[in-house]
Amino acid sequence: MKRLIGILIPLIVIGSLVAWRVVVKKREGAALVAQRTARASAPVKVSVATAELRDIETTFEATGSLEAPLNVNIASKIVGQIQYLQVQQGDRISKGQVLVRIDPTEVEAEVRQAQATLADAQYKLAQAQIIEAPTNVNIRTQIRQQAAGVSSAQADYDQTRQNLAAQIASAQSSVTDAQGRVDNAAAAIGSAKAAIDSAKANLNDASIRLTRTLDLYKQGFTAAQDVDDAKAAELVQEAAVEVAQKQLAAATAQRDSALAQRNAAEQQVSIVRTAGDANVEDARQKLLQAKASLEYARANVAQTPAYTQSLAALRAEVAAAKGSLDAAISRRKDTVLTSPLDGYVTGRMMDPGAVAQAGQAILSVEFFKQVWVSVAVPDTVSAKIHMGTDVGVKFDALPDRPFTASVVQVNRAADPQARQFTVRAIMSNTEGLFKPGMFAHVSIVIDKLAGAVAVPREAVKTDDAGDYVTVVDDANKASRRQVTTGVSDAAYIGITEGLRPGERVVTLAGVPVKDGTVVNAGAAGAGSDKAGGQYGSPGGATKSGS
């Protein structure tokens, strides 16, 4: 009996506990049902934002890298040992500066050999022109000689005529001069005769005066002194007559001499003219003979095709030798390597004493006064970037200094692997702050819309039907509305159709909001300052999902 009681008591306790647990579960289930019912009938709590007019810019952001616009590898065109190489990595260089010198010994030998080859070819050509086809060469020589003879005879003929004219003019000048002296002597004779006549008249007056004075003296009417004076006057006039007669004789002698000189000059003119005409005729005959000889020499000209071809071949050899010499001289210039730009040495691949191979880089130099910002963009962005588009640039090393670059290149072909298009923007580097290889944070405005109806990006949802927003009316009743989106930025997206400024839209909700649901509308959510969905990765722009 005691054993039965020991078994029943535990069973009774266990049954009581099970019954109690069942009752508790029923009570909890009823409470949950009551809670669900209360929740279903309560308004949904949501965050809303008001559609407003604002300017929206779509910005593409990415990480780019700096490149040098000019990056040149300095390489030798010839094989040779490096004799001179002083610059190191980081050294500044200027355009035209000598950077490398290659041993020119072999090239100098090539130049001398090419010079010798050219001299030999020129000698052969000269020999061919002199030795080959002697007849033709002699005829050509004769032609040149006869042509020279014609020129000389023509010159002699012209000179003889000129000399004759000069001699005649000189002789005629002597005739004119003698005639002048004759005319002067004739004038002197006339003057002397007039002087004789005047002196004789004066002598006659003096004789008459003396006779009268003697008569008066004999009659006692005058003094003896008057007689003496009259005699003296007569003597003076006699002396004057003698002087005048001597002058006449002298003038006559001068006239005779001048006449003789004039006759001699006239005879000289005749002699000069006669001799000159003979000389001119002789020169003319010589000219005619020289012209005849030239015509004869020309009539004997004969050239053979073989001679012409031989000379052409030799001239070709000379031209080829000149070309080889020019090439050797050019290779000699290639032993001195200069900088093609102003910039810096960015790489040194060899040292003095090393043997440079043709085309093998020795130095690398880059232009640093300007740098390129290179960035890869998707095709949707590439289509909106043009030459001159401004690009914002920031660097981690210079966080507080924003820079602006300008697009100078837009590659129209995409990279076959990444399917991205390369855009390059140029920026000044006068301060030397930038170095090729640096990373840059690039920002490009690719779209801009002024006065657009805008809502926070998180307010726009997307499903199979397209983009939509949940609009809350004045009674706090929510309704779904399809919209057409446009330009967007980091925080806002423009609505081109389906929404008016001032309407409220749901930005955040704890549970999905269905049409007709009454909501408890709170303030706008904090999602407006998020950067999600902004261009900045190869994926392009994105919108929040439903």
pLDDT tens digit sequence for 423-447: 999 998 888 788 888 899 999 988 8
346 with 373, same domain: the answer is no
500 with 375, same domain: the answer is yes
91 with 200, same domain: the answer is no
What is the spatial distance between Cα 533 and Cα 59, in angstroms, rounded to a whole number? 11
Mapped onto helix, strand or coil, the DSSP state of residue 117 is: helix
> Is the residue at 15 inside a domain?
no
157 with 233, same domain: the answer is yes
Average pLDDT over residues 408-414: 88
> Is the residue at 347 inside a domain?
yes
> Is the residue at 3 inside a domain?
no
Q: How confident is the model at residue 147 (pLDDT cuts 50, 70, 90)?
A: confident
Can you give the pLDDT at residue 173? Answer: 82
* C-alpha dihedral (394, 397, 399, 400), degrees to nearest 10: -100
179 with 294, same domain: the answer is yes
Q: What is the pTM of this model?
A: 0.42
Q: What's the CATH number where 405 sits?
A: 2.40.30.170
Domain boundary among the residues 345, 363, 381 is at 363
Can you give the pLDDT at residue 467? Answer: 93
Above 90 in pLDDT, residue 8? Answer: no
Q: What's the CATH number where 165 sits?
A: 1.10.287.620
256 with 380, same domain: the answer is no
> Is the residue at 4 inside a domain?
no
Q: Which stretches does DSSP call E strand in 315-429?
A: 336-338, 343-348, 355-356, 361-366, 370-377, 390-395, 398-410, 421-428
Above 50 in pLDDT, residue 470? Answer: yes
What is the spatial distance between Cα 443 and Cα 61, in angstroms, rounded to a whole number? 5
Q: How confident is the model at residue 139 (pLDDT cuts 50, 70, 90)?
A: low
Can you give the pLDDT at residue 545? Answer: 35
Domain hosting residue 234, numbered range: 136-299
What angle is formed at CA 25 by the lines to CA 19 and CA 29, rounded to 5 degrees? Answer: 150
Q: Which of 325-339, 513-527, 530-544 has the lowest average pLDDT?
A: 530-544
Average pLDDT over residues 135-148: 72
Above 50 in pLDDT, residue 469? Answer: yes
Q: Name, of 31-40, 263-272, 299-308, the range with top average pLDDT.
A: 263-272
> Is the residue at 25 inside a domain?
no
> Is the residue at 255 inside a domain?
yes
411: amino acid identity, one letter: N
Token pair listed for 77: 């065109």
At residue 543, φ and ψ (nearest 5 deg) are: -125, 155
> Is the residue at 23 inside a domain?
no
Q: How confident is the model at residue 2 (pLDDT cuts 50, 70, 90)?
A: low
Total count of domains within the chain: 4
Average pLDDT over residues 175-189: 83
Domain boundary among the residues 286, 318, 333 is at 333
345 with 451, same domain: the answer is no
126 with 90, same domain: the answer is no
Q: Name, of 14-18, 82-86, 306-310, the range with top average pLDDT.
A: 82-86
Average pLDDT over residues 157-182: 83
492 with 531, same domain: the answer is yes
431 with 347, same domain: the answer is no
> Is the residue at 32 inside a domain?
no
Q: Which of 52-61, 83-92, 481-490, 519-528 has the lowest average pLDDT?
A: 519-528
378 with 509, same domain: the answer is yes
Phi-psi region of 220 (alpha: psi -120 to 50; beta: other; left: phi over 0): left
Domain boundary among the residues 277, 299, 321 is at 299
Can you give the pLDDT at residue 40? Answer: 54
406 with 472, same domain: the answer is yes
Q: How confident is the model at residue 536 (pLDDT cuts 50, 70, 90)?
A: very low
